[in-house]
Structure 1
Amino acid sequence: MNLKNKKILVTGADGFIGSHLVENLVLEGYDVRAFVYYNSFNSWGWIDYFPKEIKKSLEIFEGDIRDSYLVKRAMKGCQVVFNLAALVSVPYSYKAPKLYMDTNIGGLLNILEGARELNTERIVHTSTSEVYGTAKIVPISETHPLKGQSPYAASKTGADQMALAFYNSFDIPVSIIRPFNTYGPRQSARAVIPTIITQIAEGERKIKLGALEPTRDFNYVKDVVCGFIKVAMCDEAVGDVVNIGSGYEISIGDTGKMIAEIMGKEVEFQLDRERLRPSKSEVKRLVADISKAKKLLGFTPLYGGKEGFRKGLKETVNWFSNKENLKLYKSYRYNL
């Protein structure tokens, strides 16, 4: 599918990955409508920090993904929908599981129902590697069993299955992109990499973290955005799930050491029990099999492997170390 001359809707456009996707699409000359979460502050999230020329090129739609009427209005006139609107924090999902069901499953359902009426040409729905749970087989392919080890993971699993159900039942042209752990500029401090960087940047030398042993396949946001666009363009990905990863596995503890080395600081990692997941909920190992992405999409991560990860961390550190960016974060508290 050629995205040129298509009107593109991005939900969750005000968030971390969504804002990077929107920015990239605009710079590439696409016609974009950005669905942002309505709030009384009139904040557009990270879009507020875009250069004026990019903001002027955007159509902003303020609403709530849980409102079916507003979602349908936002979709009207758009041929392509990237759905990134979601609640994404695992710790907060322990506190508000119903909100996760309403947002992550209900929000997607509103898009799918809208697509039935509006004959939307392509939907790309965002999944997560958390749906796999702790790896039983590595690397993790798209056929790996799914296991909801948190309410967040369960809500995303439910949303993925709803997307596939609408493809099989109503021939809705939906593809599922399943990124492994994404990092980069603008990420919330609820995630481990910004948590480490912001604490060090604020002068802390005793860094509070949860479990250090779990491993992750971290993906720089530029690679993930590239994956989104490639999935949207790929007709063979319709009705299917595609992993996006780097293929490099590293523990949380070793990630922290690499960040400290890049920042030139000696630090000590201290266990903060508030940051630990319940024992049966901790996903202990994630590493992606991206052979399908390579075959279907021609996707190759530019930030893959150890050196690619180091390169992405350096860019991320540079962004967070900027005082204007750092002041937007609360490194002194645990962010759910």
Structure 2
Amino acid sequence: MRTVLVTGGAGFIGSHFVKRLLRCEDIARITVLDALTYAGHVENLGKAFLDPKMDFVQGNILDADLVDHLVAQHDHVVHFAAESHVDRSLYEAGNFLTTNVLGTRTLLDAAWRLGVEKFVHVSTDEVYGPLLTGAADELAPLRPTVPYAASKAASDLVAMSYFQTYSVPVCITRSSNNYGPCQHPEKIIPLFLTRLLKGEPVTLHGQGQHVRNWLHVEDNCAGIELVLRSGSPGEVYNIGGGTDLSSKELTGELLRICGSGWDKVRYIPDRLSNDLRYAMDWSKLAALGYQPTQALQAGLEETADWYRRNPDRWAPLSRSPLPALPSPRVAPSHQEHQHA
């Protein structure tokens, strides 16, 4: 019987994964470690919070003593905890590096010293950077372009170094963009849904040309569980198989579902370093038996229905917009130095 420590288990993807594992008869105990920052909420766990197989600990993955205490009690670690919003990383890069890199190192240190059977590190397709054509397999170079993606790429490399140097049984998963119920309303799908449900306009960067692969969170969790059970230590597994859509095409789907028209759409200047296209080859995981099952249209309609039925869950969160990006510092000219 497996015992599993899930970091970030009160977040969007982590909470879906916890609920999935609780349905497994061979899982004896799950402990969720979550700092409950702006994106983590015990409400995401729902009835799972009362399940006798699950324990919840509020704490930070940077707390080495706490991490040691918890890792010592579990034979598997699945590591979701991370700062994950690209826009936030543009003005809070330090937080992303601290949590995503140093926090991952703290967990790996404990896994090495205390011994675990499997350590699954959850990452993202954004570490590969933009691809105008083709698709990145697991051996593709890492070319992140924004602080969030760079922090995840760095944590991936740290994780793999612990396998190479200390034989920590690390597997890495990299998924495409997730969507589904309970996602924080700063991400594009819940952001657009909640605004449209309130009759407010939505904004598209540039001309809405950026292409992403949209994967239902349950399909991603199925892939992560498969890696937990059958993945080979030292290997990376891409989790894809969703639907490729430009941001304009995605907006059209959300407008249709909410009964809104294009008069609700505003175009704004593109954000800094907005990668045009991500694409991954996920045939390696397919060879282990992975196959996504969630159709995009049904998944989006299910997601929209959740936000319609649960305004108490997202309305308070949507009142905290991201602060404005600070203006870059401009170095004084040579003449200004002379007259200083």
TM-score (norm 1): 0.89
Q: Identify the residue that residue 67 of structure 2 maps to in structure 1.
A: 71
Contact kept in structure 1, 2:101 and 2:154, CA below 8 Å: yes
**CA distance in structure 2 between the partners assigned to 1:106 and 1:320 by the alignment:** 34
- The match for 1:318 is 305
1:325 positional shift:
4.7
The aligned counterpart of 1:277 is 271
Q: Which runs of 5+ in 2 are unaligned?
A: 324-340
- Cα distance in 1 for residues equivalent to 2:40 and 2:142: 34
1:173-252 alignment runs, 5 A limit: 173-204=169-200, 206-211=201-206, 212-236=208-232, 238-252=233-247
User: Do the aligned partners of 1:134 and 1:286 also contact (CA within 8 Å) in 2?
Assistant: yes
1:33 aligns with 31
Q: Is the 8 A contact 1:46 1:186 kept in 2?
A: no
Aligned equivalents of 2:278, 2:137: Cα separation in 1: 11
Distance 2:191 2:223 in 1: 25
Question: Is 1:300 matched with 2:291?
Answer: yes
CA contact (8 A) 1:189 1:335 kept: no
- Say which of 250, 253, 260 aligns to 1:255: 250
Tell me the CA shift for residue 208 of structure 1: 2.2
In the alignment, the residues of structure 2 paired with residue 182 and residue 44 of structure 1 have an alpha-carbon distance, to the nearest angstrom, of 16
Q: Deviations over 1:211-264 (max 9, x none)?
A: 41100001100101101100001143x201111112531101100101111222
TM-score (norm 2): 0.88
Deviations 1:150-181 (A, max 9, x none): 11111100000011111111111000000110
Q: Which moved more, 1:64-73 or 1:179-188?
A: 64-73
| Counterparts of 2:153 and 2:94, CA distance in 1 | 14
Residues 334 and 62 of structure 1: CA distance in aligned 2, closer, same or farther (over 3 Å):
closer
8 A Cα contact 1:247 1:288, kept in partner: no
Look up the match of 1:264.
259
Whole-Å Cα distance in 2 between the matches of residues 214 and 321 of structure 1?
A: 27
The 1:277–1:322 alpha-carbon spacing in structure 2 relative to 1, beyond 3 Å, is same
Question: What is the percent sequence identity of the aligned residues?
Answer: 29
Q: Displacement of 1:46 after TM fit?
A: 3.7
Give the letter aligned to residue 158 of structure 1: A
Alignment length (residue pairs): 319
Alignment of 1:130-209 (within 5 A): 130-204=126-200, 206-209=201-204
Residue number in structure 1 paired with 2:335: none
8 Å CA contact 2:83, 2:99 repeated in 1: yes
Partner of 2:333: none
Q: How far did 1:82 drift? A: 0.3
1:57 and 2:44 are equivalent in the alignment: no
Q: 5 Å matches for 1:79-98?
A: 79-98=75-94
Where has structure 1 moved over 3 Å in runs of 4 or more?
Answer: 46-49, 52-57, 323-336
Out of 22-31 and 185-194, give the one that drifted further: 22-31
Q: Is the partner of 1:17 in helix, strand or coil?
A: helix
**What amino acid is aligned across from residue 299 of structure 1 in structure 2?**
Y
Q: Offset of 1:292 from its aligned partner?
A: 0.8
Per-residue displacement from partner, 1:266-311 (whole Å, max 9, x unpaired)?
23310244xx421xx211101221111101x2101102xxxx1111
What is the CA–CA distance in structure 2 between the aligned matches of 1:141 and 1:247, rounded to whole Å?
A: 16
Partners of 1:100 and 1:44 in 2: CA distance: 15
Note closer, same or farther for the CA distance 1:290–1:235 as it changes in structure 2 (3 Å cut). closer
In structure 2, the residue matched to 1:23 is 19
What code does the residue aligned with 1:289 have? D
Report the structure number with the largest CA radius of gyration: 2
RMSD, aligned CA? 2.2
Q: Which amino acid aligns with 1:312?
A: G
